[in-house]
Amino acid sequence: MVSPHDRARPPTSPPSAVGDWPAQATDAIVNVVDQVRDKTTGPILTAARALVFGVMVVLLACVVLVLLLIAALRLLNEVLPTVWMTYLVVGAVLTIVGALVFRKRHAPPDL
């Protein structure tokens, strides 16, 4: 004898398309929100990361430049016999660099 528990349940029918409109509307809204987020926050995050890393590189380059200048001054101070010769050499080098940079500048536009 077959008990009622041994019988297989009849297959359930899939939900009809008309009755499942809340899920479809939710999926459509989620898709639109995902597309908007991908098109807006993705480039903004990339630009923000580039800005932060750029600022960090500039700051670190300034620190390295100052430390190299200090090291060059101390080295010249040990090599040259007097301190004023160190200042003369460093002043001459910086003046030449400044003159070269000044030659590369562009004249301001006439208004």
Q: How confident is the model at residue 49 (pLDDT cuts 50, 70, 90)?
A: very high
Q: What whole-number distance in Å separates Cα of residue 89 and Cα of residue 73?
A: 10
Sign of CA dihedral 35, 39, 44, 49: positive
- pLDDT, tens only, 7-34: 555 555 455 555 689 899 999 999 999 9
- Does this model's pTM top 0.75? no
